[in-house]
Amino acid sequence: MIEAPPYLLIAALREELAPLSAGLESRTRLGSSAFGGVEGRLDRTPVRLVWTGEGPERAARGMEHALVGDVRGPILILGVAGALSSALRVGDLVVAREVVADGESMPAPADALASALRWPGSREGIVTSVDRIVGDDRAREELAASLPSGAPACVDMESATFVRTARARGFDCLVVRAVSDAVGDVLPSFLESSRRADGSIDRWQVALAAMRQPRTIPTLVALSRRLSHCAGELGRFARWWLDLQRSGHENRASEKLPRRPVPRSADERRR
């Protein structure tokens, strides 16, 4: 029997796909200087998991390489994002009805959007992409004011580039983002200044900056814990979504999995 091409699941960070990668069978490593990834079977479904690194430049290169060879659409774009709306809490899953960047709106395929929104607790919203880290409420408010009203919004750095690159190759995309920082959270300013020329974050620079500003360490620890939690939520969603693709119908779309609340950063520091 000829095996069907794999579904492509792509993210900026390896950690965002870690729960899915851990469950992969018949693994084959992928990767180059442009991206990292693995291919195999997840719950009997052939998949290709690719992580590109942060920022639009690396996202474009990584998506181009990820699309080499046969893949099945729609492409599932996963990762964390910062909330621009107070209605969004840490851990919420935002299914993008549209991705907005540079005045361009890229709507999701209607059928894929409708199916994804049957996942318990998912939120229909807007994802916008900018080439900077949005880390305080003033920047969030300015960005939110530029977006269409009527739906919760979140921000990342890669979704728009992922979608544009895939669309140019004839693929539809579904973007699902988990909220890792909420309105009111303040991210260390050195995260932006620690970005390299290609937009990726130099983690050694972040570590050195944190040592010079130890009051920021609890925030970084909280973000790391939130990333792990969000990756778990994204992984559960992705397995359910792949099951829908494999079965070809939505008879399992009403299956509910428990969702655990994420402690606020103050609680996390008391652990």
The model's pTM is 0.88
CA distance 229 to 212: 28
Percentages helix, strand, coil for the chain, rounded to the nearest 5?
Answer: 35, 25, 35
> Which neighbouring-strand residues pair with 174?
76
CA distances from residue 253 to 178, 226, 260 in whole angstroms, order as listed: 19, 26, 20
Check: CB of residue 134 under 8 Å from CB of residue 33: no
Q: Classify 182 as helix, strand or coil.
A: coil
Q: Which of 3, 6, 45, 8 is nearest to 23 (CA)?
A: 45
Per residue of the chain (271 residues), give pLDDT as tens.
447 889 999 999 999 999 999 998 888 888 665 679 999 999 889 999 999 999 999 999 999 999 988 898 899 999 999 999 999 999 999 999 999 999 899 999 999 999 999 999 999 999 999 999 998 999 999 999 988 878 999 999 999 999 999 999 999 999 999 999 999 999 999 999 999 998 889 999 999 999 999 999 999 999 999 999 999 999 999 999 999 888 774 344 444 444 444 444 444 444 4
Q: Which amino acid is at 241?
A: W
